[in-house]
Structure 1
Amino acid sequence: MDYIKGVVHQELDGFTEDEAIRANIITFVSFTLNRYYSEHYRNQNKNYHITNDRSVDPGFIERPTEQEPLVRNTDAFFSQFVEYPGHPNFPFLALFCPSGCANEGKLDQAQSRVLAREGKKHTQIIKSFYGENYNTRSAAFIIINKKIESFLGPLKFGDSGGRVNQIQTYLEVIGKNYNMQVFRKAIEENGYFGEKTVKAIKTFQKNILNRAGTQITGVVDQATWYKILTRYYIAIQSPSRNDASDSPTQQIPTSAEPKAPAPTGELVVSVYKKGDLTPIPGTQVEISDMNGNIIRRLQTDRFGNIETITLPALPTEIRSEEAGGAQPAQGKYIITVKHPHHEQVRVEYVKIHASSKATPEIHLSPTRMEDMSPIKTIKIDDSKPAVGKQFENPYNISQLSIHPLSFYSTYEFAHGYEPNPHPRIGLVIPDTIRLHLVVKKDLITGKWIRTRARTIEVPFVEYVKGVLHKEINGFTEDEAIRANVIAVVSFTLNRYYTDFYRRRDQDYHVTDDTSIDHDFDEHHLANAQEPLVRNIEEFFNKYIEYPGDTFFPFLSQYCSGTGVKCAEKKQMEQTPAREMARRGKSHLEIIKHFYGSNFETTTAAQIVIHNELYSFIPPLKLGDTDKRVLNIQHYLDVIGKKYDQAFLSAAMDENGLFGDKTKEAVTLFQKHYMKLSPGKINGILDLKTWYALLTRYLKVVNNGNQRPMGAASLPLHPAGYYMPHPQYGLVCKTFLTLYGPRSYCYYTYFWEMNHSYYQY
């Protein structure tokens, strides 16, 4: 309350128009509650709720010279706030300015005075700036001295009951502390608002509230109630009365609150040109609730991003696979993107999860004004519960070839290198996955989701993103997400390298039939979640290997662990994995818990992108210097020139040294293009940053038909084809399992870790 008064006296000094003051007070309260309950600064690892930096927060005076109209209206309206349309009880981030911002969806303080002088009420003033669908609401409780107090409605002569008795009790304590008999007399009416209580209230309003004339009403309005309440707490803490035995309120612990705050999450929308992903600044982005009520209207900056905003979110435990068709509307939004020179796009059912950040990307195709087509609509579908999972024996690997010569020819392929023992073989992440989308029906409504099957080709990492945005959308626990990433990668690599479907005369690697494979979200970019994207890009090169140091990806099956159980079959259950992560278990501990203590994870050696081979590199940081740093600087330079962002191109000035300019470029790339949360931005070129930078670089050069730098062209040759250096061949392995020895062979790009040719 003192904070709001400090803000009001700083921001509204000299205001005398009651309705304008009230509109501004409600705005300040709403803004402050939003900052508090969204933990805006705590999410940035800062130990405060708000600042007095007037460029981002309200101004504040610590010890203001109190002005009567400001104090009176603050006492009367500090419990009211603006709520988000369609989301009752959650305070709107009500922005404002001194003047000149009425057309920006902010409250213009100078203009609010004009409207008040024209006879407008405070609610009308608020609606005139924020929109007709914005309403005000009163808070239910306030915490004072670690106690919950409920706001009272007006009490007047003739009323009776517990609330009246509560006020009389407060007045009695104040009367004893101030030695004012008139206050102590009210308790004699024992819950009835009679003449003694009226007299006590009028005396309080005159002597304590400094009211005069018609403002002395004898009615307990909010301002009077709050002042009585605060004077009561001063009285019970005074030396003459240091116990609270008369308190009719409920004692609560320090950390308790009257009501759990509504969950919130963050949203930042990015708009890029389809193809080379050039940012499109000045794009209008409208965020609406699922009823179509516009909540915010924003514009993209030079990076193609809107400002990060906080909105009501889906509760932590809501998960699409489990909830089926009965999910709440809160936390789901419609995003509409408009630009005069690009197509218009509307995305429905974008999700924001509690304590998380949604980072949807919208890719627009250019268009001419005269060729404006109807708005393109994308619907984010919810996963539906799987009827059941078909268990596969993960050790029953069909043998492509078990002829002994197949095994030996693999090592003859290594150009005379005869290791003893045999060198390890590391798999390469394939370029794309051919995904068969099956016919699907909604199990809840019975409606067809997809009436015709089709096959699409998806880049490997994008496939993993599509799977996990469908199956664990809403997970925020890093270690649980990582365990799921590794399981999906391992399963998919197994399907790919065993040619599971191709050996059944099917021209694809995997399906989205959830009874045997994984679900898949075709529109995962428009529903991207920062924790999922960040962990996928950091762990997509890891997989579970079969026991025995075989380096072959395990068929890591899993299920939700809620509607479908599978732990007894040595498969991972996703929701229990989440609980394990909350208890501090690492992703490897989660994997071993479900699949077995003898299972380990390993790392792929390289990845193929656009038929070019790229080796994974160790993290690069300030002070490092070699050709890999030069490659990274080249990537930054190409992107910077294409996007007209000199801070990226400046890294090239350091010519192979990871200096301050390179660190700044990497840091800003992580912030503006990867949209990492503040605590995850480190200026280090780790795997996720390398992959995000490389793939964006390739979008630019491939769109411009340029030759990428830092890649090895990858000719495809049949098994046994002799080359000076091994790149592609038939690999055969034999290992012991619970079912006896198993041999398998597969065609793959491979890397012999002990071969000097592959060492830096």
Structure 2
Amino acid sequence: MSNQTLKSMQTESPDRGRLQVQVTSTIGRIPISGATISISYTGDPESKVEQLTTNSSGQTETLDLPAPPLEYSLEPSDNQPYSEYTIQVNAPGYESATIAGSEVLPDTTSIQPVELRPMEGQEALDRIVIGPHTLFANYPPKIAEAEIKPVNESGEIVLSRVVVPEFVIVHDGSPRDTTATDYWVRYKDYIKNVASSEIYATWPDSTIRANVLAIMSFTLNRVYTEWYRNKGFDFTITSSTAFDHKWIFGRNIFDSISIIVDEIFNAYLSRPNVKQPILTQYCDGRQVTCPNWMTQWGSKYLGDQGYTPIEILRYYYGDSMYINIAEEISGVPSSWPGYNLDIGASGPKVTQLQEQLNTIAATYSAIPTVAVDGIYGESTANAVRTFQSIFGLPQTGITDYATWFKVQEIYVGVTRIAELS
């Protein structure tokens, strides 16, 4: 598709999507306020669509932008189902960054994270190009593996139980490509990136959940078996579709996918009497066929028919597949209380939450500080609501499972900043 054709499709399209840019420093999770954001159509850098400035949380307002017709992402199509935008970011004291190919789907919100490096000496430009979506372009098909790894080999299993890691190390290439870069990526961010790269956020909720569960189970199998480390490599997983999943450095994620991952990030898929997470392999079902594996387009059609996530998974992997919960979550300073915290709640867990919110508020000043009294009142609910709005969670003011662990994640991030300084 030519740039001119794509541009005319974007500008004349009746459908709309949304885009928000979030800018932080590469040092910790410090939000960068006052950054200047210029947005143009990818392929036509002179066509400036918008110019924005980030707020105290490092975020722009959410833009309403042209996107291709919704039906392009609901059926296999030769038409590109998303618009592509180029985002240029400038902030005093930081190197500039340009991200080309940020995807906007209709009826969804795309979140484009941008990390800026503090300026050191001569000004430089960090340029990231987001590759095409796996359902639209041709990528190598998955090389089949056994879904359960042998456990009787010496040193094969290092972990004694299933643990959700704080980070995974992603090798951005095939396993033996020694020129590929290794990236430390937060586990949840990795899952959100892969899901946003491999399925469309316009699909049914149950389809997204089924695919996210398959991605997480596959990833946790690599973690649990230390698959690559036992082969002499220093990474957890690769970005090659022939071996693992497609992870794209610097890409945007979609809010509908992000919210689901935050809700179910500690889940994986099991079979009876098998301790390790199942290596749930799949293919798109259009360009590549894969008997006995889930197909992404097939899972979409089952979601259209009202199938639940586990029904979709069992349709492909058999009735013995079930959803399990990891025994441990790494990098979490305080465990989940086991119930939602809401108005009227009290006790040590509320005190911990209040202390953590106040620590986060020192970095994210839009969050109001609260009295640390162990009582979940209106002021605590308001602080939680503001936190939820900044970090892409439903704004309920209730500290549910997803909110509790997002608070833990951000608290760890900002306290590490304090330790570094």
Q: What TM-score range do you get, normalising by the shorter chain?
A: 0.7 to 0.9
Indicate the residue corresponding to 2:163 in structure 1: 428
Indicate the residue corresponding to 1:345 in structure 2: 97
Q: Cα distance, 1:520 vs. partner?
A: 1.2
Question: Matches of 1:302 and 1:434 in 2, distance apart?
Answer: 30
Question: Matches of 2:154 and 2:54 in 1, distance apart?
Answer: 56
Indicate the residue corresponding to 1:661 in structure 2: 379
Does 2:17 match 1:297?
Answer: no
State whether residues 342 and 398 of structure 2, in contact with CA within 8 Å, keep that contact through their aligned partners in structure 1. yes
State whether residues 343 and 372 of structure 1, in contact with CA within 8 Å, keep that contact through their aligned partners in structure 2. no
CA separation of 1:511 and 1:301: change in aligned 2, threshold 3 A: closer
Q: Cα distance, 1:318 vs. partner?
A: 4.8
| Cα displacement string for residues 227-257 of structure 1 (whole angstroms, at most 9, x for unaligned residues) | xxxxxxxxxxxxxxxxxxxxxxxxxxxxxxx
Indicate the residue corresponding to 1:376 in structure 2: 126
Indicate the residue corresponding to 1:603 in structure 2: 325
CA separation of 1:452 and 1:89: change in aligned 2, threshold 3 A: closer
Cα RMSD, aligned residues only: 3.1
State whether residues 385 and 395 of structure 2, in contact with CA within 8 Å, keep that contact through their aligned partners in structure 1. yes
**Superposition pairs for residues 395-414 of structure 1, below 5 Å?**
395=148, 397-400=150-153
Indicate the residue corresponding to 1:111 in structure 2: none
**Superposition pairs for residues 679-694 of structure 1, below 5 Å?**
680-694=394-408
For 1:458, the aligned partner's letter is V
Q: Cα distance, 1:338 vs. partner?
A: 1.9
DSSP-derived class of the 1:271 partner:
strand
Among 180, 201, 226, which residue is 1:499 paired with?
A: 226
Deviates more, 1:578-587 or 1:466-475: 466-475
Indicate the residue corresponding to 1:357 in structure 2: 109
Indicate the residue corresponding to 1:48 in structure 2: none
Question: Matches of 2:242 and 2:10 in 1, distance apart?
Answer: 41
Indicate the residue corresponding to 1:628 in structure 2: 349
CA separation of 1:451 and 1:495: change in aligned 2, threshold 3 A: closer
| Cα displacement string for residues 480-511 of structure 1 (whole angstroms, at most 9, x for unaligned residues) | 22111111111121122223333333333322
State whether residues 346 and 375 of structure 2, in contact with CA within 8 Å, keep that contact through their aligned partners in structure 1. yes
DSSP-derived class of the 2:280 partner:
coil
CA separation of 1:507 and 1:426: change in aligned 2, threshold 3 A: closer
**Superposition pairs for residues 215-614 of structure 1, below 5 Å?**
262-290=14-42, 291-292=44-45, 293-316=47-70, 318=72, 328=80, 331-367=83-119, 371=121, 373-382=123-132, 383=134, 384-395=137-148, 397-400=150-153, 427-439=162-174, 452-524=179-251, 527-548=252-273, 550-566=274-290, 568-569=291-292, 571-609=293-331
State whether residues 283 and 300 of structure 1, in contact with CA within 8 Å, keep that contact through their aligned partners in structure 2. yes
For 2:383, the aligned partner's letter is A
CA separation of 1:367 and 1:387: change in aligned 2, threshold 3 A: closer
Question: Matches of 1:646 and 1:483 in 2, distance apart?
Answer: 34
State whether residues 432 and 457 of structure 1, in contact with CA within 8 Å, keep that contact through their aligned partners in structure 2. yes
DSSP-derived class of the 1:622 partner:
coil
Q: Cα distance, 1:267 vs. partner?
A: 1.2
Does 2:378 match 1:696?
Answer: no
For 1:597, the aligned partner's letter is D
State whether residues 174 and 243 of structure 2, in contact with CA within 8 Å, keep that contact through their aligned partners in structure 1. no
State whether residues 397 and 498 of structure 1, in contact with CA within 8 Å, keep that contact through their aligned partners in structure 2. no
Indicate the residue corresponding to 2:3 in structure 1: none
For 1:309, the aligned partner's letter is L
Question: Matches of 1:270 and 1:681 in 2, distance apart?
Answer: 18
CA separation of 1:396 and 1:276: change in aligned 2, threshold 3 A: closer
State whether residues 266 and 325 of structure 2, in contact with CA within 8 Å, keep that contact through their aligned partners in structure 1. yes
| Cα displacement string for residues 420-468 of structure 1 (whole angstroms, at most 9, x for unaligned residues) | xxxxx9622123323333359xxxxxxxxx8923444333223222322
State whether residues 273 and 363 of structure 1, in contact with CA within 8 Å, keep that contact through their aligned partners in structure 2. yes
Indicate the residue corresponding to 1:30 in structure 2: none
Question: Matches of 1:389 and 1:273 in 2, distance apart?
Answer: 35
State whether residues 10 and 66 of structure 2, in contact with CA within 8 Å, keep that contact through their aligned partners in structure 1. no
For 2:335, the aligned partner's letter is S
| Cα displacement string for residues 620-679 of structure 1 (whole angstroms, at most 9, x for unaligned residues) | 2222223222221111100112333461x22xx1522222111111111111x1234xxx
Q: Cα distance, 1:545 vs. partner?
A: 0.9
| Cα displacement string for residues 549-596 of structure 1 (whole angstroms, at most 9, x for unaligned residues) | x45311211111221122x32x11112212222332221221121111
CA separation of 1:388 and 1:285: change in aligned 2, threshold 3 A: closer
For 1:624, the aligned partner's letter is A
Q: Cα distance, 1:330 vs. partner?
A: 6.4
Among 326, 335, 352, which residue is 1:615 paired with?
A: 335
State whether residues 69 and 81 of structure 2, in contact with CA within 8 Å, keep that contact through their aligned partners in structure 1. no
CA separation of 1:364 and 1:327: change in aligned 2, threshold 3 A: farther
CA separation of 1:703 and 1:544: change in aligned 2, threshold 3 A: same
Question: Matches of 2:25 and 2:171 in 1, distance apart?
Answer: 28
- TM-score when normalising by structure 2: 0.86
CA separation of 1:538 and 1:500: change in aligned 2, threshold 3 A: same
State whether residues 336 and 405 of structure 2, in contact with CA within 8 Å, keep that contact through their aligned partners in structure 1. no
State whether residues 95 and 119 of structure 2, in contact with CA within 8 Å, keep that contact through their aligned partners in structure 1. yes
State whether residues 18 and 108 of structure 2, in contact with CA within 8 Å, keep that contact through their aligned partners in structure 1. yes
CA separation of 1:701 and 1:551: change in aligned 2, threshold 3 A: same
Question: Matches of 1:476 and 1:693 in 2, distance apart?
Answer: 28
State whether residues 87 and 330 of structure 1, in contact with CA within 8 Å, keep that contact through their aligned partners in structure 2. no
Give unmatched runs, 5+ long, in structure 2.
1-5
Q: Give the fraction of aligned pairs with identical amino acids, expressed as a percent.
A: 27
DSSP-derived class of the 2:303 partner:
helix
Question: Matches of 1:684 and 1:433 in 2, distance apart?
Answer: 30
For 2:256, the aligned partner's letter is P
Question: Matches of 1:329 and 1:578 in 2, distance apart?
Answer: 15
DSSP-derived class of the 1:642 partner:
coil
Among 618, 641, 649, which residue is 2:362 paired with?
A: 641
Question: Matches of 1:646 and 1:454 in 2, distance apart?
Answer: 36
DSSP-derived class of the 2:127 partner:
strand
CA separation of 1:459 and 1:280: change in aligned 2, threshold 3 A: closer
For 2:89, the aligned partner's letter is V
State whether residues 639 and 700 of structure 1, in contact with CA within 8 Å, keep that contact through their aligned partners in structure 2. yes
Question: Matches of 2:201 and 2:357 in 1, distance apart?
Answer: 32
CA separation of 1:613 and 1:279: change in aligned 2, threshold 3 A: closer
CA separation of 1:515 and 1:318: change in aligned 2, threshold 3 A: farther
Question: Matches of 1:299 and 1:504 in 2, distance apart?
Answer: 47
**Superposition pairs for residues 193-232 of structure 1, below 5 Å?**
none
Q: Cα distance, 1:474 vs. partner?
A: 3.9
DSSP-derived class of the 2:163 partner:
strand
Question: Matches of 1:467 and 1:330 in 2, distance apart?
Answer: 17
DSSP-derived class of the 1:585 partner:
coil
Give the number of the structure whose residues are more often helix, by fraction. Answer: 1
